Amino acid sequence: MIETKRDIQGDGASPGVSEGPPGPPTIERAPRLVAEGETYGSITDRIGGIPIHRPPVLWYLGLLLSAGLVLTLLTTISVLFLKGIGIWGVEIPVAWGAAIVNFVWWIGIGHAGTLISAILYLLHQSWRNSVNRLAEAMTLFAVACAAMFPILHLGRPWTFYWILPYPNQMGLWPQWRSPLVWDAFAVLTYGIISLVFWYTGLIPDLASMRDRARRRSTQRIYGLLALGWRGSALHWHRYKSVYLLLAGLATPLVVSVHSIVSLDFAVAIVPGWHSTFFPPYFVDGAIYSGFAMVLTLIIPLRKLYGLEAYITRRHLDYMAKLLLVTGLIVVYCYVIEWFFAWYGNDLYEKRVVTDWATGVYAPIYWLVVGCAVVVPQTMWFRWVRSRLLLVFFLAVLANVGMWFERFIIVITGLHRNHIASMWGVYQQTLGDYLVDFGMIGFFVFLLILFVRLFPSASMFEIKELIHRRFRRGEASESRAAVKPPSRPVGVGHAEPEHYLGSIYGLAAEFPTAEDLLHAARDVYAAGYRKMDAYTPFPVEGLSEALDLRDHRIPLIVLLGALAGGCGAFIMMSYSAVFDYPLNVGGRPLFSWPAFIPITFEMMVLFGGLAGLAGMLVLNRLPKLYHPIFSVDGFERASRDRFFLAVEAADPAFDVRETASFLERLAPLRVEIVRTWPEGGTS
């Protein structure tokens, strides 16, 4: 924190930057993670407004451009499927080319999302809250792009599913010792868990969108996607629990996925690939390029959509620093590669590193060194970090450098293989270039659709930031809440009980989380037990105050993970040892070390899925209708209002008594909640 304050000194002086507090320069004060003056409502209005309002012209331009590239990609893929991968530059000895380079690159980019979402979450880096949504979306799309390449690159792409175990007439199994099978499981798991993570994080915001939607159709779509989320305290409790567990699961997953990708290379005996330090090297490279991509996307986006209040200079400064740190690890890896070649004194390795420096690909190698080693060092300087255009440019360079780094890794080991007579040179063809750029188009296309359709920053998590600020006493929460019209809502003029349906309970509306928290404590102290609170974000201490706790989620996740892991290990052992024993490369039938990656992946996958399923089932979601929805103005429960409901099922419940009790807690109003509202469904 202290560092940050120093770093941002003189921020206001930077040209072309309009945001940030225009305070006097003598005051050393970091830009906030959320700008001053933002309220719960303004967050929802601003972020939630993007999908609802007409997009800027640039958006259409981007859509058109990226759609053009997508068409190119589709055409190229059609030709590829019709004619064969011969349209690419791959050959013998370099049988893996741009497709694998792209695969590794995209997967790498996909790492920052989960890293920001999960690891920084676990580390309580609250600044992640503003950028995680976009990073997760980026992850998802990058993984989608990445996952296409291994399929496209197959000689017979239509047989891609043979890599997975599925019941078939021939009784065939995949060959579990192959890193490609591990890879398939890892990427699949990563894709699914990223989707789960992303979607889980999106549910409350989708509810918020549902409540803000102006058209019935949009409302319905968001409503369906939100699964009937109503911000219940108990739901939030379970939600936080599963989110934490998902983050815990996703953290080793991030590390494992790129480690497994690196094993595609490290397991092979190809010189330049066969190296024990590939897993950390790849993971770090992935994070490096992922951060670079997040920066590349966020800097223009925040400008375009005016998100400067939520994605502030401080966020960007943190990320630039992270880029520098990961970049330094990359440098270390490069040095180590040379050191290994020299110290190991292996003829083949030495030939490869010499080839980097002096061979046909030397220009590319030095470009990589320039982009990924030299240029990022400028981020040591605050002056550079504070110039967003420069940071953007550096991030782009880093990504270009990382693409070519993967090119060097994939190609050079193969083209300088063990036997000099089979040395060859790989060159990309038109087919390769069309797919390279087409896939970038596809990624941008998905991203452009995403910012149009979904809230591109996590609204409820940003609200949490503000809430936390209030709790630290930095401001009064009431300032954040728009003053309500002082319309006292009594129950005195409540309808007769027999009017329509039965009474579900009583709901009291509060303007701030603090008010709600106080009220909740009072209600609990008064002996009420069947009650719930509805809030736009998880309010710390609320479920404790209401004694709404559920500890089953971790158990469910544990059971799911155990089932996945054990099941996978047993399946592999059974198929390799008993069902279809084959002499594969003279390896033992029970090659248990080779079974570990998939065991791990399946553990994470089933744990994660069980967590999501458990959370939904325990929360009785999806449930598109709930009596609480009938409360007048309840749509603000996903925006900036806080509701407390005491249910009729509570033995201590009595409409009049309870209502008057609630009135004493100084709510904005109190309302009877009926199981069937007047005038049909909402």
Residues that bind another protein (CB under 8 A): 83-86, 89-96, 150, 153-157, 159-160, 162-163, 172-175, 177-181, 184, 264, 267-270, 347, 351, 414, 417-425, 582-588
- Residue with token string 């304050």: 5
602: exposed, middle or buried (Cβ count in 10 Å: 0-12, 13-18, 19+): buried
| Nearer of residues 25 and 155 to another protein, judged by Cβ | 155
User: Which contacts of 264-270 are long-range, i.e. CB under 8 A and separated by 24 or more positions?
Assistant: 264/100, 264/179, 264/180, 264/183, 265/409, 265/410, 265/413, 267/179, 268/179, 270/413, 270/414, 270/417
Pairing of strands 531-534, 642-647: antiparallel
Q: Apex CA 667: angle with CA 666 and CA 668, to 5°?
A: 120
CB of 430 to another protein, least distance (A): 13
| Nearer of residues 259 and 630 to another protein, judged by Cβ | 259
CB of 415 to another protein, least distance (A): 10
**Cα 607 from Cα 174, distance rounded (Å):** 23
CB of 179 to another protein, least distance (A): 7
SS3 444: helix
| Nearer of residues 555 and 582 to another protein, judged by Cβ | 582
Which DSSP state fits 397?
H
Pairing of strands 503-510, 669-674: antiparallel
**Cα 262 from Cα 225, distance rounded (Å):** 36
| Nearer of residues 425 and 649 to another protein, judged by Cβ | 425
Half-sphere exposure of 356 (CA within 13 A, CB side): 25
Which residue from 480, 352, 366 is spatially nearest to 417, judged by alpha carbons?
352
- Maximum separation of any 2 CA atoms in the chain, in Å: 95
| Nearer of residues 179 and 285 to another protein, judged by Cβ | 179
| Nearer of residues 268 and 652 to another protein, judged by Cβ | 268
| Nearer of residues 51 and 89 to another protein, judged by Cβ | 89
| Nearer of residues 156 and 623 to another protein, judged by Cβ | 156
| Nearer of residues 272 and 511 to another protein, judged by Cβ | 272
Other CB atoms closer than 10 Å to residue 358's CB: what's the count? Answer: 10
Phi and psi based region of residue 172 (left: phi greater than 0; alpha: psi -120 to 50; beta: remaining) = beta
CB of 390 to another protein, least distance (A): 40
| Nearer of residues 169 and 217 to another protein, judged by Cβ | 169
| Nearer of residues 51 and 93 to another protein, judged by Cβ | 93
CB of 89 to another protein, least distance (A): 7
Task: Order across the sheet with 531-534: list the strands.
Answer: 531-534, 642-647, 503-510, 669-674
CB of 251 to another protein, least distance (A): 27
What the block records as the tokens of 90 is: 């791959």
118 within 8 A of 256, measured Cβ to Cβ: no
* DSSP-derived secondary structure for 48-72: HHHHHSPPPHHHHHHHHHHHHHHHH
The alpha carbon of 343 is separated from its chain's Cα centroid by a whole number of angstroms, namely 40
CB of 84 to another protein, least distance (A): 5
**Cα 336 from Cα 453, distance rounded (Å):** 45
CB of 103 to another protein, least distance (A): 12
- Residue with token string 């190229």: 76
CB of 114 to another protein, least distance (A): 25
CB of 286 to another protein, least distance (A): 21
CB of 80 to another protein, least distance (A): 11
| Nearer of residues 195 and 584 to another protein, judged by Cβ | 584
Residue type, 170: M
SS3 534: strand
CB of 270 to another protein, least distance (A): 6
Tell me the β-bridge partners of 680. none
| Nearer of residues 177 and 469 to another protein, judged by Cβ | 177
CB of 77 to another protein, least distance (A): 15
CB of 170 to another protein, least distance (A): 9
User: What backbone phi and psi angles, to 5 degrees, belong to 178?
Assistant: -80, 125
Which residue from 196, 138, 212 is spatially nearest to 451, judged by alpha carbons?
138
| Nearer of residues 91 and 540 to another protein, judged by Cβ | 91
Which DSSP state fits 232?
B
| Nearer of residues 57 and 92 to another protein, judged by Cβ | 92
**Cα 569 from Cα 591, distance rounded (Å):** 11
Other CB atoms closer than 10 Å to residue 496's CB: what's the count? Answer: 6
**Cα 272 from Cα 409, distance rounded (Å):** 7
CB of 479 to another protein, least distance (A): 60
The alpha carbon of 488 is separated from its chain's Cα centroid by a whole number of angstroms, namely 43
